[in-house]
């Protein structure tokens, strides 16, 4: 089968992955990515994101189901796929004893091309580190290592780019720069599959999949996922936050209560007002508190969808305290 624009760049069909007899890393993962799309896998460490990348990048075999990249099967056509994709693993994996320039030229040679032939593709990214071309990769900062790794993943002009938690451990400024680079790559028609544990980065993607314990909980645009959140959501702040969290969880009309930065995000039953929660806190001597309604974020949606179905049934039956 030849790669062409009439087939989806990435397709997963009921993909499962087990390690040994007991560890289920992926459970019936299905999704499709479009050309020129940034598709995000959103979830914490251990959710199964890297296992998906290993299968799509032909580094691991699925235990069940099937996957294809640019029309090529990830099992039988792995050689063709490896020539057409770029892969940036979660850990920096370039040659630390080679210089920036030597790493880039090495990866270009692996794909029978040259830096000069595809420099236009990596120019925006490589220009940030070109002044350090003679510096060994191991001596680079986290942000510069990230840019070098992305340059090496792009130097052979891939059609699909797999980025496994590319901004983990990188400073906020470099993170912002990195996502700006991804948007420019998307404009060139490159399909980008990116994973991240940072919920704020989910809004940078065209579509996202919320993944937990090896299964997709929801796939849609970030805006649609936020819009689907139907709970009444309050933010609560006080001077004894740990005690306040326990107190909120004891209220019969509080469905969920989670620490969220310097506040607690609380979902309540539909007939529950802010004043009612405030009175309850005041009656239990928890100190001065501030309560107000807030709009949900992707993180709020993730926390809600990650609750087990049994737990949701408990909540809806007003049993969960």
The class level of CATH for 10-220 reads: alpha beta
Whole-structure pTM value: 0.88
Structure-model confidence comparison of residues 54 and 184, the more confident one: 54
Residue 296, pLDDT > 90, answer yes
- Residue 313: its pLDDT value, please? 53
Question: Which DSSP helix (H) or strand (E) runs through 140?
Answer: none
> In the beta sheet, which residues pair with residue 257?
266
Q: What interhelical angle do 172-186 and 115-126 show, nearest 10?
A: 130
Running DSSP on this structure, what letter comes out for residue 130? G
150-163 pLDDT per residue, tens = 999 999 999 999 99
Residue 318, pLDDT > 50, answer no
Cβ burial 40-67 (10 Å sphere, 16+ → b, else e): bbbbeeebbbbbbbbbbbbebebeebeb
Q: Domain locations in the chain?
A: 10-220, 229-316
- Residue 3: its pLDDT value, please? 47
67-123 pLDDT per residue, tens = 999 999 999 999 999 999 999 998 888 999 999 999 999 999 999 999 999 898 888
Counting residues of the chain whose pLDDT is more than 90, the rounded percentage is 73
- Residue 309: its pLDDT value, please? 52
Q: Tokens standing for 308? A: 């087990």
| Burial status of residue 112 (CB atoms within 10 A of its CB: 0-12, 13-18, 19 or more) | exposed
CATH code at 229-316: 3.30.70.2070
């Amino acid at each position: 089968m030849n790669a062409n624009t009439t087939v989806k760049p990435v397709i997963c069909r009921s993909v499962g992955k087990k390690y040994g007899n007991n560890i289920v890393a992926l459970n019936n993962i299905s999704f499709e990515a479009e050309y020129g799309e940034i598709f995000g896998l959103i979830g914490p460490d251990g959710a199964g994101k890297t296992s998906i990348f290993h299968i799509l990048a032909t580094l691991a075999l699925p235990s069940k189901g099937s996957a294809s990249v640019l029309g090529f099967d990830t099992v039988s056509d792995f050689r063709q796929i490896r020539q057409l994709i770029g892969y940036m693993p979660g850990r920096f994996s370039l040659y630390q004893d080679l210089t920036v320039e030597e790493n880039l030229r090495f990866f270009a040679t692996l794909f029978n091309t040259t830096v000069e032939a595809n420099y236009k593709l990596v120019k925006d990214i490589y220009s940030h580190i070109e002044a350090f071309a003679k510096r060994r990769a191991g001596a680079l900062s986290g942000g510069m290592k990230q840019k070098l790794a992305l340059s090496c993943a792009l130097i052979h002009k891939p059609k699909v780019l797999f980025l496994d938690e590319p901004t983990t451990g990188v400073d906020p400024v470099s993170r912002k720069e990195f996502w700006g680079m991804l948007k420019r790559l998307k404009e060139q028609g490159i399909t980008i599959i990116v994973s991240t544990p940072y919920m704020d980065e989910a809004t940078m993607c065209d579509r996202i999949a919320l993944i937990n314990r090896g299964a997709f909980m929801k796939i849609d645009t970030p805006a649609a996922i936020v819009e689907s959140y139907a709970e009444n959501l309050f933010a609560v702040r006080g001077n004894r936050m740990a005690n306040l969290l326990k107190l909120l969880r004891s209220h019969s009309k509080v469905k969920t209560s989670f620490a969220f930065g310097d506040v607690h995000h609380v979902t309540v039953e539909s007939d529950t007002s802010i004043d009612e929660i405030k009175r309850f806190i005041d009656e239990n001597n928890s100190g001065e508190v501030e309560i107000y309604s807030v709009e949900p974020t992707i993180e709020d949606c993730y926390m809600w969808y990650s609750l087990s179905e049994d737990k949701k049934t408990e909540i809806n039956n007003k049993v969960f305290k």
